[in-house]
């Protein structure tokens, strides 16, 4: 269990990823469970990179540990890591400096607050989004609500169906912002491009309760009108999803203190941009 109160610490934004939360994450990424997961995820990405070259974006890349595993295997591919933490990107630069030498394609990093719809080019062939924890504050969420009104309405209906009382707002915020992040992932990809998501999970998709199944599809942008009467826009097609039991689920336990997250693993899902 971690000593950090994540809810309170991250309530003011992603700043703590430059200090105590960042240190917690870096320590986590060094354990055997994360090393095994990155190895497994990298093999999924290599299978998707069928072309000789292209652009891979790592969204919320942290210290870029996944990219580090991929840059030698895919030498002609360009890599762009995007993250909002200067400390994380400083960590990424330390390994990237050596890897760039003699490499034909670029390895770059961009400091940006995500979701970010301000830079629309270049479009990626592949985008990866692993172990997400995209932090947002209320004022940012309210701005996105003005832009993505139908997502706001559907997230609100889903949250009210599932929760009562105080829990509704937290669930709504999470559903809505995950959906905006998925729209941002789609925005950064070319049509037909691939998105590889790695989400913490307590089981394979078909083992999840009906609400969690629908919420996951809504959040990632792959829910279609046949699966829900709410008529959400579909912007990704789900190609496959595979569940791996793993102690990485304890990242969620650390953040929530909820014992339900002592068991579980992660889902690797492959989506195609429509």
Ligand X SMILES: C[S@@+](CC[C@H](N)C(=O)[O-])C[C@H]1O[C@@H](n2cnc3c(N)ncnc32)[C@H](O)[C@@H]1O
Residues lying near ligand X in the complex (CB under 6 A): 14, 17, 25, 29, 60-62, 65, 83-85, 88, 113-114, 130-131, 133-136
Q: Where are the alpha helices (DSSP H) in the chain?
A: 6-9, 20-29, 32-48, 65-70, 86-100, 138-147, 149-162, 167-187, 210-220, 250-256
Number of Cβ within a 10 Å radius of residue 208? 17
Strands (E), the chain: 55-59, 78-83, 107-111, 124-130, 189-201, 236-245, 265-273
Q: State which residue, 69 or 214, has the beta carbon closest to ligand X.
A: 69
**3-state class of 267 per DSSP?**
strand
Question: What sign for the dihedral angle of Cα 153, 147, 171, 130?
Answer: positive
Measured from the CB of residue 122, what is the shortest distance to ligand X in angstroms? Answer: 19
Measured from the CB of residue 221, what is the shortest distance to ligand X in angstroms? Answer: 18
Cross-strand partners of 129: 197
Measured from the CB of residue 241, what is the shortest distance to ligand X in angstroms? Answer: 18
Check residue 228 and report its DSSP letter. Answer: -
Q: State which residue, 200 or 214, has the beta carbon closest to ligand X.
A: 200
Q: State which residue, 113 or 234, has the beta carbon closest to ligand X.
A: 113
Measured from the CB of residue 268, what is the shortest distance to ligand X in angstroms? Answer: 12
Check residue 71 and report its DSSP letter. Answer: T
Residue 203 exposed, middle or buried by CB count within 10 Å (0-12, 13-18, 19+): middle
Measured from the CB of residue 130, what is the shortest distance to ligand X in angstroms? Answer: 4
Q: State which residue, 14 or 74, has the beta carbon closest to ligand X.
A: 14
Q: State which residue, 80 or 114, has the beta carbon closest to ligand X.
A: 114
Measured from the CB of residue 228, what is the shortest distance to ligand X in angstroms? Answer: 27
Q: State which residue, 61 or 194, has the beta carbon closest to ligand X.
A: 61
Give the residue from 238, 261, 265 showing the smallest Cα distance to 40. Answer: 265
């Amino acid at each position: 269990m971690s000593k950090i109160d994540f809810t309170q610490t991250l309530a003011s934004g992603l700043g703590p990823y430059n200090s105590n939360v960042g240190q917690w994450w870096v320590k986590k990424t060094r354990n055997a469970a994360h090393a095994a997961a990155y190895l497994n995820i990298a093999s999924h990405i290599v299978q998707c990179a069928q072309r000789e070259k292209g652009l891979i974006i790592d969204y919320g890349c942290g210290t870029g540990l996944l990219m580090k595993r991929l840059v030698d295997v895919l030498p002609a591919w360009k890599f762009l890591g995007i993250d909002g933490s200067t400390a994380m990107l400083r960590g990424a630069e330390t390994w990237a400096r050596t890897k760039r030498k003699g490499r034909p394609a670029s390895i770059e990093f961009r400091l940006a607050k995500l979701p970010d719809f301000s830079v629309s080019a270049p479009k990626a062939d592949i985008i990866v989004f692993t172990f997400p924890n995209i932090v947002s504050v209320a004022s940012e969420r309210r701005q996105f609500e003005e832009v993505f009104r139908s997502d706001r309405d559907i997230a609100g209906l889903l949250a009210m169906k599932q929760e009562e009382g105080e829990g509704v707002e937290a669930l709504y915020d999470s559903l809505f912002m995950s959906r905006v992040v998925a729209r941002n992932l789609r925005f950064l990809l070319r049509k037909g491009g691939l998105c590889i998501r790695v989400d913490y999970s307590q089981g394979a998709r078909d083992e999840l309760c009906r609400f969690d199944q629908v919420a996951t599809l809504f959040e990632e942008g792959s829910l279609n009108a046949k699966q829900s009467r709410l008529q959400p826009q579909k912007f990704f097609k789900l190609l496959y999803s595979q569940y791996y039991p793993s102690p990485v689920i304890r990242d969620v336990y650390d953040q929530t203190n909820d014992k339900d997250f002592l068991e579980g693993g992660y889902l690797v899902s492959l989506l195609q941009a429509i």
